[in-house]
Amino acid sequence: MNDSGFKEPPKDKKKPKGGGPQFPFGGPKLPDLKPFGGWKFSIVYILVLVVGMSLFNYVFLNRVNPTIDFSEFKAKIAAGEIKRVEITDSYFTGYTSAAPRRAPAPQSPFRSSSASAGENVYRTVPIPIDDPDLIKLMDEKNIAYYAVSRQGSTILNIIFSWVLPIAFFFLIWRFVVKRLGNMGGNVLSVGQNRAVIVAEGDIITRFNDVAGVDEAKEELVEVVDFLKNPQKYTDIGGKIPKGVLLVGPPGTGKTLLARAVAGEAEVAFFRMSGADFVEMFVGVGAARVRDLFKQARDKAPCIIFIDELDAIGKSRINNIAGGNDEREQTLNQLLVEMDGFDATSGLIILAATNRPDVLDPALLRPGRFDRQVLVDRPDLKGREEILKIHSKAVKLSPQMDLTAVAKITSGFSGADLANIVNEAALLAVRAGRQMVLQKDFDEAIEKTVAGLQKKTRVLKPAERRLTAYHEAGHALVAAFTSNADPVQKISIIPRGFALGYTLQMPVEDRYTVTQSDLLGKIDILLGGRLAEEMISGEYSTGAANDLTKATDIARKMITDYGMSGRFRNVALTSRGSGMPERQEPMFQREYAESTQQYVDEEIARVVDQEYGKTKEILENRRDILDRVAAALLEKETLDEKEFKALLEPAALI
């Protein structure tokens, strides 16, 4: 504000978009002249205008000019019907009225004749005829005749012969190129790689930002040290691995680890997905591989990171699509490029996949991907560190215990834990709190495991009672089964596709499972079906998912784990022999039909045997089952403490 009290307008530091002078106090606003947008639309409008006027000229105006034979034209002159004649290089045009007072002007390209309103026009066929008698005949009949320039036709011929076809094919070319790969205006860019190039020093990710994969970080320390101090390795004659393959389940941090390597080494980083190499044009993938490695050599030392390597690196052995498809050519070029650069050049390839079983053996041999680093799901300590990293920017309650959250999230990946932290923060905001509480994390975990809570779904009293006994049966069998995971929560509030759920969380990480543990899981799954039978005397469809899981466990015990009586210590299924395009390994039976019959009968026997054991557990504790079901009908949800309080009269195993 100046001394007179007038508030000065704010100064815009940005460069004005429009051309011409700028008016600071709201003067006349000039149009925004875009370099391509306006011109592009102007061309379209001009083409539409020219085509419209030309079609109007040729479709409508030519209809009033009937074409007659030359002999008939002479007969009409002799009969006195035609009063004046226009002569061009292609036509004789006759008019039934007298000649105009002034000389006719040169014909416009968008007018077919100089005819007056109400008169008839006759035109000869377009054949140049040199007939001297026609001039004598017109002189005898006192008919006015004159020549007319046809320059307009030449312009139209140029437009229709050159301009319009060129414009049409240009528009079609632009449309096809844009639809087939978004390649812009340069068709030669189809062979250029689409890697995201991050310059040296622009990557801020470091090893401190990656937790839960300490062993994998140790394996990659050598790669970082080589990129920083290559002389130390070359002096002793050592060579750094050309390629490092990061293997692990989805969401475990493989891409984040690759960025951390580039950030620690402070070198350029080329990131590209395996799917970006393959296009519908044959040879494009191989061209992009060549271009990627050419650019990487120019910027060495650097790191090339190929995410989802299995998109182009699938095995060629079982390729049912043929031996010369686009994916195979891309893989062959990648193999050649990885063999073609020196290990001392400072060019290192990192790749990530969650399906190493489908990769081509030539890709995994020493000299290409020399080292495979397993990036597995984090353990208890790793989960706690991951939660701390993701909750740095989240306002947590002082009573918040991340160790407790890490204990009940066994088997979760780093991406799952990051999602839980974010969901807990959103739940706190939804509740109107300024800090995230422990119950927000509990709700976020339940939402991730069981699905979204559906409080508006109203169950009938009979369905609600049956659901309560179903979940009470699961929880009661779990409480009286050895080595079973403790029950954290029981609820009959619908979540996802389930009408209720029993939440079990392991207190520690387990890497091996015994035969008794597997049978115990079958017992817990059958507890819900058995409780329904005890209370209603019949079965319902609510146990369909439980039966599927129990049957799968029994089948794996017999076919995969060698836990059957007849085929003890024998695996009856071979994996990886199916089509590599399948997301899961295809099971192929390599045994007789009689063995298949035995497998089916053994599955039924195991499930029936465990059903009898589960029935004995619930029948001997019917009073506890009724007590837990009644509490669920009253409160809808029971936590671990409330459930254990209902079990106090009984002696737990």
Report the catalytic residues: 471
Question: Do residues 586 and 441 touch, judged by C-beta distance below 8 A?
Answer: no
Task: Write the single-letter amino acid at 73.
Answer: F
CA-CA-CA-CA dihedral for 373, 374, 377, 381, to nearest 10: -60
| Token digits of residue 8 | 């000065």
| Residue 479 CB burial class (10 angstroms; 0-12, 13-18, ≥19) | buried
Give 314's strand partners.
Answer: 359
H-helix segments, 408-488: 414-430, 438-450, 461-479
Give 371's strand partners.
Answer: 244
Report the SS3 class of residue 96: coil
Give 637's strand partners.
Answer: 491
The closest alpha carbon to 617, from 593, 577, 647, 586, belongs to: 647
Whether the CA torsion 179, 184, 187, 192 is positive or negative: it is: negative
Angle in degrees, CA 314, 224, 380, rounded to 5: 75
The closest alpha carbon to 193, from 254, 300, 274, 308, belongs to: 274
Q: For strands 501-504 and 487-491, give the pairing.
A: antiparallel
CA-CA-CA-CA dihedral for 252, 255, 261, 266, to nearest 10: -150
| Residue 361 CB burial class (10 angstroms; 0-12, 13-18, ≥19) | exposed
| CA of residue 170 relative to chain centroid, distance | 31
Longest Cα–Cα distance of the chain, Å, equals 136
Angle in degrees, CA 355, 356, 358, rounded to 5: 80
Give 27's strand partners.
Answer: none
Residues 129-144 as b or e (16 or more Cβ within 10 Å = b): eeeeebeeebeeeebe
| Element (DSSP H or E) covering residue 144 | strand 144-147
Q: For strands 573-574 and 588-589, give the pairing.
A: antiparallel
| CA of residue 500 relative to chain centroid, distance | 33
Question: Do residues 269 and 197 touch, judged by C-beta distance below 8 A?
Answer: yes
Report the SS3 class of residue 574: strand
| Element (DSSP H or E) covering residue 401 | none
Report the SS3 class of residue 264: helix
H-helix segments, 69-200: 70-78, 132-140, 151-158, 164-179
- Is the previous residue joined to 165 through a cis bond, with omega within 30 degrees of 0? no
Cα distance between residue 499 and residue 460, in whole Å? 12
**Within 13 Å, how many C-alpha atoms sit on residue 623's CB side?**
5
Give 642's strand partners.
Answer: none
Give 349's strand partners.
Answer: 243, 304
